[in-house]
Amino acid sequence: MHVPDGFINAPVSAATGVVAAGAVAVSLRGARRELDERTAPLAGLVAAFIFAVQMLNFPVAAGTSGHLLGGGLAAILVGPYTGVLCVSVVLLMQSILFADGGLTALGVNVTDMAIVTTVVAYAVFRGLVKVLPRTRRSVTVASFVAALLSVPAAALAFTLLYAVGGTTEVAIGKVATAMIGVHVLIGIGEAAITALTVGAVIAVRPDLVYGARGLQQKLKLRVNGELVDVPDAQPVPVAARSHRKVWITGLAASLVLAGFVSFYASSHPDGLEKVAADKGIDQRTKEHATADSPLADYGVRDIEDARLSSGLAGVIGVGVTVVAGSTVFWAVRRRRTNDTSATSPVSTGV
């Protein structure tokens, strides 16, 4: 659903840029609370994983494909504020390096794909986990539903933006019907990927899933005919539990998906591209400012072998995203540490 330059006029693009900048600023502050010893090492990896999976377009209808948006997945794994930053980093890397999503439309894309999906998904997720049984399976089910609903919500948000700032005269009702219809189907794929990923992590390290915190159910024993809570076991210190195995596994999976599996992804246009072509939204599409980038269109210039070219571009993309994301989150985490140190009381001896 990457919006190119020319779909939305300059005033609305500028307005969404202000909204996106404000949301990122708020998220940077909010992420200080979320980026603790568990989430901080994994946030950059989550961004890289989303980049990799977004390269895997899957067929959803005749001549149409879809791909992960990732807002729900990021919010559930590392928190909503950090989730907005994860998807924003991905969108920035895609726009600058791969000419995917317009530079002037970056505010539109961040608003639509990072903010709307994360807010909707996390709100639905938190609502569901409050009413469902406090089990790991409930977290997976809530993840599925939250991700499913976030995609048509993003499609509706784009339609509203186009109704205000679209550059062509089209029937908005028809655009809304087509956008929401195809993105409900894409949402099913998004939901499956999100639920499988969250389920895999929670099966191995439930302590690393931000959305699952505080959902442990007390064990009970029957003593003299009455149910009593089992005393809590001594927790393992967070610092003593290494994230290295999860990090290496996640990075390896991201590299394989982007470097190898992506070559076999569907070549059909995604939901937005298909609707744009069918409804005439793309009549004023502008060439991307970085269309001559060495990595434009997810290929490496001057490498003739298509498989090698796309695979190498994917690997580079994962590497750049994990470095960029980790740098951002390390800086935010360090700021939190500095703020904590500055506000901690200092005792003095007499």
pLDDT digits (tens, 9 = 90+) for 122-147: 999 999 999 999 888 999 999 999 99
Identify the band that residue 38 occupies on the pLDDT scale cut at 50, 70 and 90.
Answer: confident
Choose among 31, 41, 29, 33: nearest CA to 207: 41
The pLDDT score that the predictor gives to residue 242 is 67
Higher pLDDT, 214 or 156: 156
The pLDDT score that the predictor gives to residue 216 is 56
CA distance 47 to 25: 18
Look at residue 233 and tell me whether its pLDDT is greater than 50. no
Q: What is the mean pLDDT of residues 63-84?
A: 96
Q: Which fold has domain 10-231+242-341?
A: Arp2/3 complex 21 kDa subunit ARPC3 (1.10.1760)
The pLDDT score that the predictor gives to residue 347 is 44
The pLDDT score that the predictor gives to residue 17 is 97
Comparing 10-14, 33-37, 66-70, 345-349, the range with the smallest average pLDDT is 345-349
Contact 193, 183 (CB under 8 A): no
Comparing 1-15, 56-70, 230-244, the range with the smallest average pLDDT is 230-244
Look at residue 34 and tell me whether its pLDDT is greater than 70. yes
Helices (H), the chain: 10-34, 40-54, 71-78, 80-98, 106-109, 117-131, 136-165, 172-204, 244-259, 271-279, 306-343
Look at residue 348 and tell me whether its pLDDT is greater than 80. no
Structure tokens at 68: 């992960």
Percent of the chain topping pLDDT 90? 77
Identify the band that residue 343 occupies on the pLDDT scale cut at 50, 70 and 90.
Answer: low
β-pairing, 64-66 vs 220-223, is unpaired
Look at residue 232 and tell me whether its pLDDT is greater than 60. no
Q: What is the mean pLDDT of residues 218-246?
A: 56
CA distance 203 to 145: 19
The pLDDT score that the predictor gives to residue 235 is 46
Look at residue 340 and tell me whether its pLDDT is greater than 90. no
Contact 328, 90 (CB under 8 A): no
Contact 257, 156 (CB under 8 A): no
Which amino acid appears at position 186 of this protein? I
pLDDT, averaged across the chain = 89
Identify the band that residue 222 occupies on the pLDDT scale cut at 50, 70 and 90.
Answer: low
The pLDDT score that the predictor gives to residue 213 is 85
Look at residue 332 and tell me whether its pLDDT is greater than 50. yes
CA distance 144 to 73: 9
- Give the burial string for 286-308 (b: 16+ CB within 10 Å, else e): eebebeeeebbebbbeeeeeeee
